Amino acid sequence: MKPRQKNTYNKNNRDIIPAMVKLLTEMGLSGNAKLERLAGGKNNQVFKVMADDQRFCLKSYFAHEDDPRDRLDREFSFSRYAWNKGIRCIPQPLAADKKQQVALYEFIEGEKLYETDIGEDIIKQAIRFILELNRYKQSGEALDLPFASEACFSISEHLICVERRLKRLIDIVPDDSVDKKAVDFIKRQLIPAWMMFKKGILEKLGPSDVDIDDVIDDKSRCLSPSDFGFHNALRERNGNLRFIDFEYAGWDDPAKMICDFFCQPEVTVSNTFLSLFEDDVMPLFDKKDVIKKRVALLFPLYRIKWCCIMLNEFIPEGYARRSHAKEDAKPPRREEQLAKAKSYLSETLNCAQKKTARGIKWELC
């Protein structure tokens, strides 16, 4: 069987109408509703619900035999914790049906952000979100939240996480010309780049006070939205941001949260804002200087990780998520993702070469 033909669980073929009616009636509404499919969901099906002159967001969550994570429980519990702590820059979580894997949230009327929109005010709103999330991180409710998806608490765990993703890509069985181009890129460019950056990370670890197997303690960990960036935010008419999509959220390494924020390629954030971001969030943690060193150390690693994420369409589970969300993972989608990964890696390598030529070891680009 070809990888992209692998079927998803029957859960993904569920009839969401009865589940939606059940949630609405539990909230005291009539259950009479209009359902409008919304574009943009890459992993889950997202709908606008009109019921009793009110609008809601309905999410139908993805499930797959190769990905056993409970996306609904993670997002809903994280959102409920944040909302109960007074955080209002997220959609209010309203009701959930874990058996049917659907949930209702406040509907946010807002516009997407673009790179040209990113300025200091926008950055400070993201910083405030992180500060608010972690203000009560020692509370019982916070401590009950799970680790983030792919949470890492030592340098060795970060390395293993990326190598695991690369292993899945190496195992792609090509069955058309697009697959073959992807495999060629992975083997001839992505893997050699990873080996170079990994060597650089290990060399920097030698004289530093950061040990590869040192696990950061609880006081140096953070509650992270995960997949954190302006690609997962909407701007309301009043200029306020509302952050969305927390299906990977939980406890994590703040260095990973920062690297993801600055490395995510969809709505890029200039590294000129890095000092502002770090200086404002570091008071949350013990060993601030160590965390900053970890950010500089891990930055190239997360550039490679995001290349891997862009190539998810070439693995069975990634294709299944797009199919569930009704996003086409076949050409031209795969061609587009491959082109993005090539461009992103080229930009990363060009920056590294320029810094090397000037006698500067590769750190932040």
Q: What are the DSSP calls for 101-113, one per residue?
A: TEEEEEPP--EE-
Backbone angles phi, psi at 362, to 5 degrees: -65, 125
pLDDT of 364 = 57
| Closest residue by Cα to residue 71 from 84, 81, 60, 80 | 60
Q: Which residues neighbour 79 within 8 Å (Cβ) at sequence distance 6 or greater?
A: 90, 91, 92, 93, 105, 246
Instruction: List, for residues 199-220, the tens digit of each pLDDT value.
Output: 999 999 977 778 899 999 999 9
Q: What is the pLDDT of residue 351?
A: 81
Ranges of beta strands (E only) in the chain are 33-37, 45-51, 54-60, 93-97, 102-106, 111-112, 222-224, 233-235, 241-243, 250-252
Q: Answer yes or no: are the C-beta atoms of 45 and 37 closer than 8 Å.
A: yes
Specify the pLDDT at position 84: 97
**Which tens digits make up the pLDDT trace of 71-80?**
999 999 999 9
| CATH class label, 9-106 | alpha beta
In the block, tokens 């569930």 appear at 324
DSSP β-ladder status, 233-235 and 111-112: antiparallel
Location of each CATH 3.90.1200 domain in the chain: 111-357
CATH 3.30.200.20 in the chain, residue ranges: 9-106
**Mean pLDDT across the chain:** 88
Yes or no: domain 111-357 corresponds to CATH 3.40.50: no
Structure tokens at 272: 């000129």
- Each residue of 209-233: b (16+ CB within 10 Å) or e? eeeeeeebeeebbbbbbbbbbbbbb
User: What is d(CA 35, CA 50) in angstroms, rounded to the nearest whole number?
Assistant: 7
Which of residues 163 and 361 earns the better pLDDT score? 163
Q: How many percent of the chain have pLDDT more than 90?
A: 75
Residue, of 320 and 227, whose pLDDT is higher: 227
Count of beta carbons in the 10 Å neighbourhood of residue 135: 15
Q: How confident is the model at residue 11 (pLDDT cuts 50, 70, 90)?
A: very low
Tens digit of pLDDT for each residue in 96-113? 999 999 999 999 999 999
Q: pTM for the complete prediction? A: 0.88
